Amino acid sequence: MKEFLGIKTITIFLIAIILISCSKKYTGEVSFKSCKVSYPLHDEEKERKINYEAVSNQWEYESAMQKLALCLCEKYMQKPDEEIKEKIIEIYKEDFEYYRKEISFKKVNFDSILVNRKEVFNSEILVD
């Protein structure tokens, strides 16, 4: 009887692992210092077949980068750190496909970026 319960327990455990692995959603991650943002990775070809359109992985990545920049701004305001400042400016200057900035990058006013961080690094996109 104990042997049967052991086999039954192992079988249930294996089935659970198989179900979890089959339904696993893939994620990407961007991080810097203590800030970390996970984002979904899509099977774009499969989504196009189902929905005729897909949210691109580039779109998800860029949104995650915007969220990472917001986190970094918060960290910087708590405790200024030159590396964090440089990373924020790097993200700010990034030439994103979906998050285009119609501004000149010749001179970046970092204080202005911090003050307007929620607008500058807004991770929401309005689609026509």
Structure confidence by residue, pLDDT tens digits, 40-89 = 988 767 666 666 665 678 888 999 999 999 999 999 999 999 999 999 99
Total domain count, the chain: 1
Q: Which domain holds residue 72?
A: 26-120
In a domain, 4, yes or no: no
pTM of this structure: 0.71
In a domain, 50, yes or no: yes
Give the pLDDT of residue 86: 96
The CA distance from 68 to 121, in Å, is: 9
Give the pLDDT of residue 92: 93
How many C-beta atoms lie closer than 10 Å to residue 98's C-beta?
A: 14
In a domain, 2, yes or no: no
The CA distance from 81 to 44, in Å, is: 38
Give bridge partners of residue 38 from the DSSP assignment: 29
- Of 58, 113, 124, 60, nearest to 91 by C-alpha is 113
In a domain, 12, yes or no: no
Position 95 confidence tier, pLDDT thresholds 50, 70, 90:
confident
pLDDT for 97-122, tens place per residue? 877 765 555 567 899 999 999 999 98
In a domain, 126, yes or no: no
